[in-house]
């Protein structure tokens, strides 16, 4: 089935929800070429093996807000799918290795839109949005030339360690997710002060209140993108690019010259090693691995055929 046919089917499905809706649409003759509809809200969702009832008013309305937000911020949500095809194959095996449910890959999506270079106004950095102090506590190196909060593998390992510590405290993955935003101290304190068992029953600042619902909403969309209006093909997704690893134990005074000697540009070096924060690298007795992309793999001369999850595709 062609993509045009798929899009047309989706459009007509939207305007044919029921005969009354269809008749109203035809009678009122909308002056815009697309319909805006509230996404269907499920009665429950599974998160980390736990079934969460979404029928209570605050739960239903919380997930409704976030689903609508992700569905109608099309460009950002679509970009997340494209990036996930490159980064989920790195993130998910690490989560499994450390015994963290793979649903937490969606936490990285809502934290950073899977951008390892992003920096928040609060100065949190990287795909997992670590503050500097927390990053150091969980083993990440931060110097004038290195910031491992932007290292995809190392920051994922650090996130796993935090999540496991939080689970040891709460024994509940939903509370763990809430604590990633608010901090363990805040969630523990509020559970005690408000005398409730679930973090979803807490009265919290808006950002934290919305946080878990954002994870749940992006999980729903990623597990069934076509249902929520996202039509994806193999060639739309960003392909994983093969790299060789170069071990470095001595300082590199000029990373641009180093990159040129490796047959790539300085920009390429920075894109594949976003943890490099200066034009030089001072190792300070440490050993680092620099990723060098394979030149022949850096071009879309043929359409992408590597798909992390074929359920994403409208086939």
* 165-190 pLDDT per residue, tens: 999 999 999 999 999 999 999 999 99
Distances (CA, A) of 245 to 45, 84, 211, 248: 40, 22, 36, 10
Task: Take residue 265 and report the two structure tokens written for it.
Answer: 């540009």
Separation of alpha carbons 36 and 62, rounded Å: 19
pTM for the whole structure: 0.89
Separation of alpha carbons 216 and 47, rounded Å: 7
Nearest to 287 by CA among 247, 258, 255, 253: 247
Residue 296 contacts by C-beta under 8 Å, 6 or more apart in sequence?
none
pLDDT band at 18 (very low <50, low <70, confident <90, very high): very low
Task: Take residue 280 and report the two structure tokens written for it.
Answer: 């030089």
Q: Is the pLDDT of residue 7 over 80?
A: no
Place of tokens 């209570």: 56
pLDDT band at 27 (very low <50, low <70, confident <90, very high): low
Question: Helices 74-97 and 206-223: crossing angle, nearest 10°?
Answer: 90
50: helix, strand or coil: strand
Place of tokens 């920009």: 267
Maximal C-alpha separation, the chain? 74
List alpha helices for the chain, DSSP H. 3-14, 19-28, 57-72, 74-97, 105-112, 132-137, 152-170, 173-182, 184-194, 206-223, 255-261, 266-272
List alpha helices for 15-151, DSSP H. 19-28, 57-72, 74-97, 105-112, 132-137
pLDDT in tens, 64-97: 999 999 999 889 999 999 999 999 999 999 999 9
77, 87 contact by CB (below 8 A): no
Q: Is the pLDDT of residue 215 over 90?
A: yes
């Amino acid at each position: 089935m062609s993509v045009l046919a798929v899009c047309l089917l989706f459009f007509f499905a939207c305007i044919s929800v029921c005969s009354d809706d269809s008749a109203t649409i035809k009678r009122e003759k909308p002056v815009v070429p697309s319909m805006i509809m509230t996404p269907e809200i499920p009665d429950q969702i599974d998160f980390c093996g736990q079934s969460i009832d979404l029928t209570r008013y605050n739960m239903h309305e919380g997930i409704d807000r976030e689903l609508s937000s992700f569905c109608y911020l099309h460009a950002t949500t679509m970009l997340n799918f494209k990036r996930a095809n490159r980064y989920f194959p790195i993130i998910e095996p690490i989560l499994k290795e450390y015994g963290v449910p793979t649903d937490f890959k969606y936490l990285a999506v809502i934290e950073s839109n899977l951008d390892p270079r992003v920096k928040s106004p609060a100065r949190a950095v990287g795909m997992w949005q670590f503050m500097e102090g927390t990053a150091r506590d969980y083993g990440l190196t931060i110097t004038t030339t290195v910031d491992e909060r932007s290292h995809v593998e190392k920051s994922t390992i650090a996130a796993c360690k935090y999540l496991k510590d939080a689970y040891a405290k709460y024994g509940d993955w939903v509370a763990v997710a809430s604590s990633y935003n608010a901090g363990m101290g805040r969630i523990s304190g509020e559970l005690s002060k408000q005398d409730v068992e679930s973090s979803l029953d807490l009265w919290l600042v808006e950002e934290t209140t919305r946080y878990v619902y954002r994870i749940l909403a992006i999980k729903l969309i990623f597990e069934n993108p076509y249902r929520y209006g996202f039509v994806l093909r193999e060639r739309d997704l960003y392909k994983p690019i093969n790299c060789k690893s170069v071990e470095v134990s001595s300082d590199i005074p000029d990373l641009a010259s180093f990159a040129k000697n490796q047959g790539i540009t300085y920009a390429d070096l920075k894109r594949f090693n976003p943890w490099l924060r200066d034009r030089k690298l001072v190792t300070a007795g440490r050993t680092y691995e620099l990723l060098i992309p394979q030149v022949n793999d850096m071009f879309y001369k043929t359409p992408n055929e590597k798909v992390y999850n074929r359920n994403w595709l409208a086939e």
